[in-house]
Amino acid sequence: MTMDYFSSMGFPPYFIVLLVLLAIWDFTWKLLGTWKAARKGSAAWFIAMSVFSTAGILPILYVYIFSERKHSSRRKVRRKRR
């Protein structure tokens, strides 16, 4: 595919650049999110992030919100009072 193909369809010349940047953005976040979900044993999140293409939104939510909830609850250790 050349730029002539996209311009003949009515797309601006920078469309291919934006498409490539979006693909890199999505791939990076999907890779990070699925890696983190696999390490934590979250099979449902791993499958959801692998199947759905959400331009990085679903992996970002998992990495910054949902994975931290489980992680922070595991670290709470109650000390016994003497």
Task: Check: CB of residue 45 under 8 Å from CB of residue 66.
Answer: yes
Mean pLDDT over residues 43-67, rounded? 81
SS3 content of the chain, % helix, strand, coil (to 5): 75, 0, 25
Report if pTM > 0.85. no
Task: Check: CB of residue 34 under 8 Å from CB of residue 22.
Answer: no
Task: Check: CB of residue 38 under 8 Å from CB of residue 63.
Answer: no
Closest CA to 60 of 41, 39, 23, 34: 34
Residues 6+ apart with CB under 8 A from 45: 33, 37, 62, 66, 67
Q: CA 21: distance to chain centroid?
A: 14
Provide the pLDDT confidence category of residue 5 given band limits of 50, 70 and 90: low
